[in-house]
């Protein structure tokens, strides 16, 4: 799905987890948005870029068995909603883990991985996925 610019223009957020912070109310949003849905007009010009730490906990998850054709090779894979340290939630896959070992509340960190490709021989797309954090380290 999509053209090269469609992916390229989102790279800052997909590579480096760049979101925004409303300097009027302090709320953090990901991906970036131009207007704070709480402060409206007061937020114009005050939505400042903010790179997320990449650390969070699993808020909910599922093991996907019936996938889009482009993810056929991965299935079954774990899709999760992760609550980031900054309070925002993000949806992506959890990797480097057995699906049955994933739990709500598990600590995870973002890593950059291949997300997909344009057809069979087109350009590759990269972005964040999450992996478990070993708390002993």
Partner 1 sequence: MRDVAIIGIGDTKFGELWDSSLRRIGIEAGIAAISDAGISGDEVDALYVGNMSAGRFIEQEHVAALIADYAGLTKNHIPAVRVEASGASGALALREGYLSVASGEYDIVVVGGAEKMTDVGDEDITNIQAAAMDQEWESVFGATLPSLYAMMARRYMHEYGATREQFASVPVKNHANAAKNPKAQYRRAIKPETVLNATMVADPLGMFDCAPNSDGAAAVVLAPMEIAKKYTDTPIRIAGSGQASDSLALHQRRDILTMDATVYAVRRALKQAKKEVKDIQVAELNDNYTISEILALEDIGFVEKGKGAEFSHSGQTAIDGRIAVNTSGGLKARGNPIGATGIAQAVEIVRQLRGDAGERQVDGAQVGLTHNVGGTGATAIVHILEVA
Residue with tokens 């699906």: 99
Shortest Å distance, C-beta 50 to partner 1 = 16
Shortest Å distance, C-beta 55 to partner 1 = 16
Q: Is 104 in the site for partner 1 (CB under 8 A)?
A: yes
37-96: contacts with partner 1 (CB under 8 A) = 59-69, 71, 74, 77, 79-81, 88-93
Residue 133's alpha-carbon distances to 18, 37, 61, in angstroms, are 21, 33, 16
Tell me if 130 sits within 8 A of 92, measured CB to CB: yes
Strands 107-117 and 89-94: unpaired
Shortest Å distance, C-beta 123 to partner 1 = 14
Q: Is 129 in the site for partner 1 (CB under 8 A)?
A: yes
Tell me if 15 sits within 8 A of 54, measured CB to CB: no
| Binding residues for partner 1 (CB under 8 A) | 1, 10, 31, 59-69, 71, 74, 77, 79-81, 88-93, 104, 115-116, 125, 127, 129
């Amino acid at each position: 799905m999509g053209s090269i610019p469609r992916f390229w223009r989102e790279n800052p957020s997909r590579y480096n987890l760049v979101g925004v912070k409303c300097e009027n109310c302090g709320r953090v949003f990901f991906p970036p948005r131009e207007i704070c849905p709480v402060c409206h007009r007061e937020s114009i010009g005050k939505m400042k870029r903010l790179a997320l730490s990449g650390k969070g906990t699993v808020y909910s998850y599922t093991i996907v068995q019936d996938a889009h054709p482009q993810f056929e090779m991965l299935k079954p894979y774990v899709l999760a909603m992760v609550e980031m340290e900054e309070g925002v939630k993000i949806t992506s896959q959890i990797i480097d883990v057995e699906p049955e070992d994933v739990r709500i509340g598990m600590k995870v960190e973002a890593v950059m991985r291949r997300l997909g490709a344009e057809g069979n021989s087109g350009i590759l797309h990269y972005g964040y996925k999450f992996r478990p954090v070993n708390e002993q380290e």
